[in-house]
């Protein structure tokens, strides 16, 4: 039971439909779409489109998208991979010839062909109800007429002023008066409004062919990019089979690689080897979660890649033997100093949206431009912010995730879905770049293992292991005594540079016929229902 004397919020509770997003305008839009006769898919796309306008640092139509969909409350979960590929002409040699050892952020080489609009239009055509123009109308209105800046949006925006100033279009659109808009100021994006109008009328072709595509391609090529109109015309996502694991009687569904959802399942598999007892924030429990994450992330960094271009050992990663092996390495007396080297083979900013409608269609929807404002590059006539997802590639020779032509990178963004006894239980997601796999496992464990309500679980202090030995970034709300004990065991705790991640979730109470939702306190958003 929530302590009502603490400055937190209650879960949202409703009967008919619910949406949870990281921005109030997006949540309200989703409810309005469902009240007007739209279903959960219509609502999720409409909310995402709004966030592409009102949260421009977090997401955009120049990014990628993944979705899980449980129709009519069933456990027959559909998955869609809307991640983009590199230009057909881009090879690892291109980087070697320029003496590059990694993919620069603010460069065209970081821009894969955006997959979001392809995903939206395909998912809407297959599962939506309202006309697509009606779904995009709220976003168009915000872009054209303006939207008020909220606190977290302002904070993230202001941190990117220097980068935005380096691109003429970005500076013109996103730094009016030479700075980020302040809280309560009204901001407009007229170029993006016109682009959204084209997409509302002509669908997918309006983005991947014609003037909008020409704008993006000509701009990228002027900066030295290898993108072509053919690359854009050929872009397509695909329906994929979810990967799953069983956790304490529930089935957890994730999109398969090239996303890192399988690593969330691996962390849960490791956690299932330990008895969940005592305080969910005790040093012992956090020690287990930290080490499970470090081990799983080591496997991720070695193996996760585009399965069309590399061998990704999915069965091995989800096997009992592999979870047993990793769990056996965890020693509660001290931190692991040497992680295993996984050889092949063994055989940042994002929005997440959760929606459930009257018919119990459930959507878990995530859209991203990776870092805040992506590359910081904005196509001048269309107003499209171009993402920097290509930075997730490796340039290491022989690595499965090495950059190559028409290849998708390792993806951090992952929607989640939980089912049980033939019915959907909960669409959920946790934003936050490389935190996301840990965030999924952390949320599910706190809800299932410890019986916490969704808002309590989302409110808890967060941590994320880094690639720097035993260093762990932790939010300042982590108890001092817990911090001290973890450091005694050999972990090096450092303050998190930013609030870690963001989550939304909606749980279906089948017995009472109600919905229970929660939204991230580290963001501006809210969960609301009808």
Active site residues: 350
Distance CA 116, CA 355 (A): 18
Taking alpha carbons only, the member of 149, 504, 174, 207 closest to residue 372 is 174
What is the DSSP code (8-state) at residue 378? E
CB neighbours of residue 315 within 10 Å: 11
Taking alpha carbons only, the member of 322, 320, 319, 315 closest to residue 342 is 322
* Contacts with 319 (C-beta within 8 Å, 6 or more apart), sequence order: none
Helix %, strand %, coil % of the chain (to 5) = 40, 20, 40
Distance CA 309, CA 524 (A): 39
Which tokens in the block code for residue 394? 């490796």
Write phi, then psi, for 60 (nearest 5 degrees): -175, 170
Tell me if residue 475 falls in helix, strand or coil. coil
Give me the helices (H) in 358-448, please: 436-448
Cis status, amide bond into 345, omega within 30 of 0: yes
Rounded alpha-carbon distances, angstroms, from residue 20 to 81, 107, 352, 417 = 21, 34, 9, 14
Q: Please, are residues 370 and 388 in contact by the beta-carbon 8 Å criterion?
A: yes
Q: Please, are residues 91 and 395 in contact by the beta-carbon 8 Å criterion?
A: no
Distance CA 103, CA 101 (A): 7
Taking alpha carbons only, the member of 140, 181, 185 closest to residue 29 is 140
* Contacts with 102 (C-beta within 8 Å, 6 or more apart), sequence order: 391, 395
Distance CA 50, CA 137 (A): 9
């Amino acid at each position: 039971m929530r302590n009502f004397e603490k400055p937190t919020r209650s879960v949202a509770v409703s009967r008919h439909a619910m949406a949870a997003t990281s921005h109030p305008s997006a949540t309200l839009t989703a409810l309005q779409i469902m009240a007007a006769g739209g279903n959960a898919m219509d609502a999720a796309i409409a909310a995402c489109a709004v966030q592409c306008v009102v949260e421009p640092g977090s997401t955009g139509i120049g990014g990628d998208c993944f979705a899980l969909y449980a129709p009519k409350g069933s456990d027959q979960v559909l998955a869609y991979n809307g991640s983009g590929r590199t230009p057909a002409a881009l090879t690892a040699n291109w980087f070697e010839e320029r003496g590059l050892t990694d993919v620069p952020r603010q460069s065209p080489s970081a821009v894969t062909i955006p997959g979001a609009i392809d995903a939206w239009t395909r998912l809407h055509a297959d599962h939506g109800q309202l006309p697509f123009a009606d779904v995009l109308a709220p976003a168009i209105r915000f872009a054209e007429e303006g939207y008020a800046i909220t606190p977290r949006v302002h904070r993230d925006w202001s941190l990117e002023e220097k980068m935005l100033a380096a691109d003429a279009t970005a500076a013109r659109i996103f730094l009016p008066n030479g700075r980020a808009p302040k809280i309560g100021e009204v901001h407009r994006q007229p170029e993006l409004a016109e682009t959204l109008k084209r997409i509302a009328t002509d669908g997918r072709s309006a983005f991947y062919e014609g003037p909008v595509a020409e704008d993006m391609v000509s701009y990228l090529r002027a900066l030295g990019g290898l993108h072509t109109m053919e690359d854009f015309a050929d872009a397509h996502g695909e329906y994929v089979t979810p990967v799953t694991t069983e956790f304490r009687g529930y089935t957890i569904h994730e999109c398969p690689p090239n996303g890192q959802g399988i690593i969330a399942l691996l962390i849960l598999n490791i956690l299932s080897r330990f008895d969940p007892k005592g305080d969910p924030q005790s040093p012992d429990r956090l020690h287990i979660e930290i080490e499970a994450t470090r081990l799983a992330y080591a496997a991720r960094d070695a193996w996760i890649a585009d399965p069309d271009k590399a061998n990704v050992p999915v069965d091995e990663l989800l096997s009992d033997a592999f979870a047993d092996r990793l769990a056996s390495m965890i020693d509660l007396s001290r931190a692991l100093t040497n992680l295993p080297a996984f050889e092949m083979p063994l055989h940042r900013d994002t929005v997440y949206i959760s929606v459930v409608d009257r018919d119990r269609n459930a959507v878990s929807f995530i859209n991203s431009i990776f870092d805040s404002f992506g590359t910081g590059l904005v196509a001048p006539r269309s107003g499209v912010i171009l993402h920097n997802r290509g930075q997730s590639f490796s340039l290491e020779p022989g690595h499965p995730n090495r950059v190559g032509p028409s290849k998708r990178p390792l993806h951090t963004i992952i929607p989640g879905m939980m089912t049980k006894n033939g019915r959907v239980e909960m669409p959920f997601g946790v934003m936050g770049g490389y935190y996301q796999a840990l965030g999924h496992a952390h949320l599910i464990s706190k809800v299932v293992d410890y019986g916490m309500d969704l808002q309590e679980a989302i409110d808890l202090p967060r941590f994320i292991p880094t690639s720097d030995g035993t260093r762990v970034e932790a939010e300042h709300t982590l108890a001092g005594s817990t911090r001290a004990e973890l450091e005694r065991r050999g972990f090096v705790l450092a303050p998190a540079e930013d609030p870690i991640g963001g989550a939304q979730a909606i749980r279906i109470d089948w017995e009472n016929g109600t919905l229970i939702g929660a939204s991230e306190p580290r963001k501006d958003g809210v969960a609301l229902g009808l």
